[in-house]
Amino acid sequence: MSAGILTRAGAPVPRSLPAGTTRELLRRPAARVGLALALLLAVSALLGPLLLPDPNVPDYTDQLAPPSVAHPLGTDQQGRDLLARTLAGARTSLGAALLVMGIAGLVGLGVGTVAGSVGGIVDTVLTRLTDALLGLPSLVLTLAVVGMLGPGFWNLVLAMSVTSWAGIARLARSVARGAERRPDVVAARMAGVGRLRAVLCHVVPGAANQVVVATTLGLGEAVLALGGLSFLGLGAQPPTAEWGTMLAAGRETFAYAPWQLLGPGLGLVCSVAAAALVSDAMRDVTDPGRRT
Amino acid sequence: MTLAAAGMIVFGMLAVTPGDPARRVLEARGVTEPSPAAVAAVRAELRLDDPVVVRFGRWAADAARGDLGVSWRTGRPVADEFATRLPATLRLAAAALVLAVGMALLLGTAAAAAPGRWPDVLARGIALAMLVVPSFVLGVVLLDVVVVRAGLGRVIADGTWSTVFLPALTLALSSAATWSRVLRTSLLEAGSSTHLLVSTARGASRRRVLVVHQLPNAAPPFLTLVGLGTAALIGGAPIVESVFTWPGVGRYTVEAINARDMPVVVGFTLIAVVAYVAASLVVDLVCAAIDPRLRSGR
């Protein structure tokens, strides 16, 4: 979806994922490329920092060195190895995006399930709140929340979580509302299963399935938005290695040290590409009407 | 409705912001260690001791009249600060909108004209590339390569039409990519309906069928997205304006956030929401005007 509108999670996701979705997905070259990219990013974010030197140790004898064997991506203004910083930044940026979507997914699942299962006035209030949040441009809202809390990594993560759960809540609510008359839920209720238990054991797992899909699809946008806001100086503060912050530093020296942009720029491009390819293929596979 | 909800959310933010606004205002005016008496005086001046509901009513009434309060940083009315910067942002957004719609139409129809063949693959590839390159990376590279090295345009954008192209292009790309993908899908969907078969049977050329018959049917989802995307353009403006030192409200807001100047942040949010609501309204009207199915109901 659009890079600007954050995780509306309005992606058409069917009631439940048909069997064989994974195999169908893996048959598509675009999905394979996307998944391979995602795997590569995950592995390098997890293992990279273990194998490389400390990304925060400055070396003032070796500032702004071009790429070489010792520093494959060169060094920055303070002589820090950019490959190490890029991989440490992958941890920060991708980890933050995972955290944001994780929080948004949990809150959305909770709010949506409660609204859909309890109904009545609770449903009305929660749905109004969700609609109000969805009615606002989310990047603008994120900016407002950051403005309120003040710039900083955790504040940015919090602001993005606050503004990303509404779409997920709407999705979870629609699943929960339809669930009451679903055969398995009716059977469970008739067998004497309590209402709370029926919701927890039968409705939530079904909704969770789709929430996981929707949050995964939102990851690319989350990475991009986090990077953009950090680039503006509203997120992680130096010396933390984070892609947006690194790009902001690289922007100042681009005229004579363009390699500073390479690592974090490529990281962002790969992350967004992976998310876009996988989500496209997923939509094709799960939505036969749109298959082209 | 949306406006009222947005107003409440935004005012709620203003009300729960940690720290005493009166103290902030004084600090912004250069008083480092304000005395309790001075703080109390400002509190009285801003009438901060009234109940929240009264303050909300007054704030909403002021906002409706275009009074967004006073900047904590400069002490000038927020509305004035925005008024001097809004034309530059509108210029940027308008140029970006035109570019984005143009590119999306071009790529989307090219792709849908020959699904699965090379123009389709090429157009989809271009759209994907446009989608994945972050605007702030592209902006930095464009600024250096085109402006500094090739000497085209000016480094410091002054907010006029002559310097709008590069920032607008940067702002437009990701929206154009998304829109072209949606347009392709809805064109293909519209292409499967039977009345197109009739048109083709009556001798209409492929291009005529695509542009005259398919496009209007595919337009509503596309236009809805464009309306929503206007919000993305406004949301993206702070980033692009900062990269290109564009003298608009987005960059001003980023500065305000760093200085914790809440009235300015709130003002920006309100302006963005108003623009968003207005765009949705325009889109609904345009859709009704071009979609034959919505028109025939009259």
DSSP label at B77?
B
Residue B175: closest C-alpha in chain A: A2
Rounded to a whole number of angstroms, the CA Rg of chain A reads: 22
C-alpha to C-alpha distance for B139 and B134, rounded to whole angstroms: 9
Question: Which of A209, A168, A141, A210 shows the shortest CA–CA distance to A8?
Answer: A168
Count of CB atoms situated within 10 Å of the CB of A108: 28
- The residue among A138, A144, A159, A136 whose CA lies nearest residue A235 is A159
Fold of B82-296: MetI-like fold (1.10.3720)
Distances (CA, A) of A115 to A123, A154, A180: 4, 29, 13
DSSP B231-268: HHHHHHHHHHHHHTT--SHHHHHHHHHHTT-HHHHHHH
- Please, which pLDDT band fits residue B208 given cuts at 50, 70 and 90? low
Task: Give the SS3 label for residue B192.
Answer: coil
Contacts of A273 in chain B (CB under 8 A): 128, 132
pLDDT score of A174: 82
- The answer to whether the beta carbons of residues A78 and A139 sit under 8 Å apart is no
Kindly determine whether residue B175 and residue A2, on different chains, have CB atoms separated by under 8 Å. yes
Task: Please indicate if any CB of chain B lies within 8 Å of the CB of A134.
Answer: no
Looking at chain A from residue 145 to 204, which residues have their Cβ under 8 Å from any Cβ of chain B? 145-151
pLDDT tens sequence across A82-92: 777 888 888 88
Out of A4, A247, A269, name the one closest to residue B133 (CB).
A269
Please choose, from the candidates A185, A212, A214, A210, the residue with its C-alpha nearest in 3D space to the C-alpha of residue A200. Answer: A185
Q: Is any Cβ of chain A less than 8 angstroms from the Cβ of B111?
A: no
pLDDT in tens, A187-232: 777 777 777 777 777 777 777 777 887 887 788 888 888 888 888 8
Min Cα–Cα distance to chain B from A151, Å: 7
Q: Nearest residue on chain A to B267, judged by CA atoms?
A: A144
Contact status of B263 with chain A (Cβ, < 8 Å)? no
* Cβ atoms of A109 and A167 closer than 8 Å: no
* Residues A140, B260: C-beta atoms closer than 8 Å: no
C-alpha–C-alpha distance, residues A170 and A177, integer Å = 11
- Residues B58-88 as b or e (16 or more Cβ within 10 Å = b): ebbeebeeeebbbbbbbeebbbebbeebeeb
Q: Which residues of B touch A258 (CB under 8 A)?
A: 144
* Count of all residues that appear for chain A in the document: 292
Whether A290 has its CB under 8 Å from any CB of chain B: the answer is yes
Q: pLDDT > 70: what percent of chain A?
A: 84
User: What pTM value is reported for the model?
Assistant: 0.76
Q: Where in chain B is the domain with CATH 1.10.3720.10?
A: 82-296
B262/A1 CB distance under 8 A? no
Q: Which domains does chain A have, with CATH numbers?
A: 26-56+65-290 (1.10.3720.10)
Question: Where is pLDDT greater, at B293 or B140?
Answer: B140
B133 and chain A in contact, CB less than 8 A: yes
Mean pLDDT score, B239-254 = 82
- Measured from the Cβ of residue A35, the count of other Cβ atoms closer than 10 Å reads 17
Q: B32 - beta bridge partners?
A: none
Cα atoms in the Cβ-side hemisphere of radius 13 Å centred on B165: 7
User: Lowest-confidence range among A2-6, A36-40, B34-38?
Assistant: A2-6
Chain A residues with CB inside 8 Å of B73's CB?
A: none
Band (pLDDT 50/70/90 cuts) for residue B139 is confident
Of A86, A84, A87, nearest to A55 by C-alpha is A84
Alpha carbon separation from B190 to A34, B210, B215, B261, B294 (Å, rounded): 29, 9, 8, 49, 15
CB contact under 8 A, B262 and A5: no
Check residue B114 and give left, alpha or beta (phi > 0: left; psi -120 to 50: alpha): beta
Mutate to test the interface with B, among A140, A224, A259 (most CBs of B within 10 A): A140
Gyration radius from chain B CA atoms: 24
Tell me the per-residue pLDDT of B261-270, one tens digit each, with 9 for 90 and over: 777 888 888 8
Instruction: Please report which residue ranges of B159-214 form alpha helices under DSSP H.
Output: 165-191, 194-201, 206-208
In chain B, residues with a C-beta closer than 8 Å to the C-beta of A261 are: 137, 140-141
Residue B124: pLDDT band by 50, 70, 90 thresholds?
confident
Compare CB distances from A4 to B2, B235, B273 and report the shortest one's residue.
B235
Inter-chain touch A292–B115, beta carbons under 8 Å? yes
Tokens of B293: 């199915």
CA–CA–CA angle A97, A101, A104 (5° rounding) = 140
Q: CB–CB of B4/B64 below 8 Å?
A: no
Looking at residue B150, the DSSP 8-state letter turns out to be T
Q: What is the mean pLDDT of chain A?
A: 76
ipTM above 0.85, yes or no: no
